[in-house]
Amino acid sequence: MQTASQKTVLRGSYVTFTGNPFVEDAASCFRHESDGAIILSDGKIESAGNAEIVLAHLSGEYDLHDYRGTDKLIMPGFIDTHVHYPQTQVIGAYGAQLLDWLNKYTFPAEGAFVDKKHADKVAEVFLSELTKAGTTTAAIYCTVHPQSVDAFFEVSEKFGTRMIAGKVCMDRHAPDFLTDTPQSAYDNSKSLIEKWHNKGRNLYAITPRFAPTSTHEQLEALGALRNEFQDVYVQSHLSENMKEIEWVKSLFPERDGYLDIYDHYNLTGAKSIYGHCIHMEDREWASMKERGTIAAFCPTSNLYIGSGLFDLERATIGKEAVPTTIASDVGGGTSLSMLQTMQEGYKIAQMKHFSLSAIRAYYLATRGGAEALGLSDKIGSIETGLEADLIVMDLKSTPLIDFRMENVDSIEDALFVQMIMGDDRAIQATYANGKKIYHK
């Protein structure tokens, strides 16, 4: 049995990202140790590097987790920046575009979260599946019910994961059983911030669902809350669907487009995460860049609901580049696996005549996500002093991948095969806060 003071050592091949491959030479943006050692102590990475060097300086007893061999690879845990845990029950629902999909599937499912026991159950299933897929940090939409937030953070604390989550706020254009008011949205969100934000590994996000479901008064109240708690996150949706955009403009004719609504109410800037950002106008790209607003690329959802193709090249390269992340967007998205999310992201980029390399894709899902969220001093890389959120990938998780890996001759090729052919079966183990929380 491991003692309280005993260290854990992960030994094996590992990869971590050291720079932004969208703006620097990709070969200089990652580090690969073919025989590495990562020492975990008190939830942090105490040291990492070549195994012989690291272990030579290690004294006392330690618990060795040996992943040496050609079929295992250690990496930072994945970061998913836009996902709805209450929609776990409607993933894969048939045949509707955005607005119809919300009314037919999403809103009825979210109504059940008035029952705290139901929220507890779904949170447990969701986080179990998330860690099975290798995701150790995510930005989570709960429901309008405060107890849905309590349920989520209570289960997340049990897993030891670093999570961002918030109560959805909607005071119009939703069923009565899912609406709040400007005042209750403010009061409940404030109470939840004081209860959960920066408590342990929990972080809070003020969460207007999207502009059409909040009145001017509610958005003003949430902007005021953001002024009071400037280190909390904001999350919402932006420019996902053409009919949605037309609807938004009809509801806010005084504003200069969709993003200007959020800008006006102080709901953009650093730590503000906007899902989709597909049909963006030039001035909106400029505003996002100027303010440091974060775009969450949701490829499986954008394809499944038929919303459109995100312009990854414009978002990540050149003078208009904005903080860009990648996300599953379950339940509009079809998988919690970031490998499958990257796969669909690659295809969307191809359709836009842009090539998403493995180094760039995994950067978005690890260090890039952490940098965009302002958390790179805590998560996203294998570095001394960072929180010990790690995954172990099985590079031969299916017979076909095993066969394909016979013709791989570089770490870049190996990573690419995993992101195109892999899924949650490729995750051998997941560590959060220095503890193994999943093992295949």
382-422 pLDDT, tens digit per residue, is 999 999 999 999 999 999 999 999 999 999 999 999 999 99
> What distance, in Å, lies between the first and last C-alpha atoms of the chain?
21
Check if the beta carbon of residue 5 is closer than 8 Å to that of residue 61: no
Helices 182-196 and 146-159: angle between axes, nearest 10 degrees: 20
Task: Convert the pLDDT of each residue in 34-57 to its tens digit.
Answer: 999 999 999 999 999 999 999 999
Would you say the CATH fold of 78-372 matches that of 7-77+381-439? no
What CA–CA distance (Å, rounded) separates 237 from 244? 10
3-state secondary structure of 84: strand
What CA–CA distance (Å, rounded) separates 327 from 334? 11
Task: Convert the pLDDT of each residue in 59-116 to its tens digit.
Answer: 888 999 999 988 999 999 999 999 999 999 988 888 777 778 788 888 889 999 999 9
Check if the beta carbon of residue 315 is closer than 8 Å to that of residue 276: no
In 19-134, beta strands by DSSP E: 30-41, 44-50, 62-66, 72-76, 78-84
What CA–CA distance (Å, rounded) separates 82 from 235? 8
Q: Name the DSSP class of 137.
A: E
**Tens-level pLDDT at each residue, the chain (440 residues):** 444 468 999 999 999 999 999 999 999 999 999 999 999 999 999 999 999 999 999 988 899 999 998 899 999 999 999 999 999 998 888 877 777 878 888 888 999 999 999 999 999 999 999 999 999 999 999 999 999 999 999 999 999 999 999 999 999 999 999 999 999 999 999 999 999 999 999 999 999 999 999 999 999 999 999 999 999 999 999 999 999 999 999 999 999 999 999 999 999 999 999 999 999 999 999 999 999 999 999 999 999 989 999 999 999 998 889 999 999 999 899 999 999 999 999 999 999 999 999 999 999 999 999 999 999 999 999 999 999 999 999 999 999 999 999 999 999 999 999 999 999 999 999 999 999 999 99
Q: Which residues contact 376 (CB under 8 A, 6 or more apart)?
A: 367, 370
Q: Which residues contact 427 (CB under 8 A, 6 or more apart)?
A: 132, 133, 134, 391, 392, 393, 394, 438, 440
Q: Omega before 380 cis (within 30°)?
A: no
For residue 41, the one-letter residue type is S
Looking at residue 70, its pLDDT comes to 81
Check if the beta carbon of residue 39 is closer than 8 Å to that of residue 48: yes
Q: Name the DSSP class of 117.
A: H
What CA–CA distance (Å, rounded) separates 260 from 253? 11
Check if the beta carbon of residue 404 is closer than 8 Å to that of residue 97: no
Cα 23–26–29 angle (5° rounding)? 90
Q: State if pTM tops 0.95.
A: yes
The CATH H-level (homologous superfamily) assignment of domain 78-372 is Metal-dependent hydrolases (3.20.20.140)
Label residue 436 exposed, middle or buried (CB < 10 Å: 0-12, 13-18, 19+): middle
In 171-280, beta strands by DSSP E: 202-208, 233-238, 272-276
What CA–CA distance (Å, rounded) separates 253 from 258? 10
Cα 309–303–140 angle (5° rounding)? 95
Check if the beta carbon of residue 79 is closer than 8 Å to that of residue 366: yes
Tokens encoding 161: 């994961």
Q: Return the closest-CA partner of residue 373 out of 43, 138, 202, 157.
A: 138
Dihedral, CA atoms, 78, 125, 118, 89, nearest 10 degrees?
80
Q: Return the closest-CA partner of residue 83 out of 192, 197, 175, 205.
A: 205
CATH of 7-77+381-439, picked from 1.10.3720.10, 2.60.40.10, 3.40.50.2300, 2.30.40.10, is 2.30.40.10
Please report, for the chain, the start and end positions of each structural domain, with discontinuous segments joined by +: 7-77+381-439, 78-372
Q: Name the DSSP class of 26.
A: G
3-state secondary structure of 55: helix
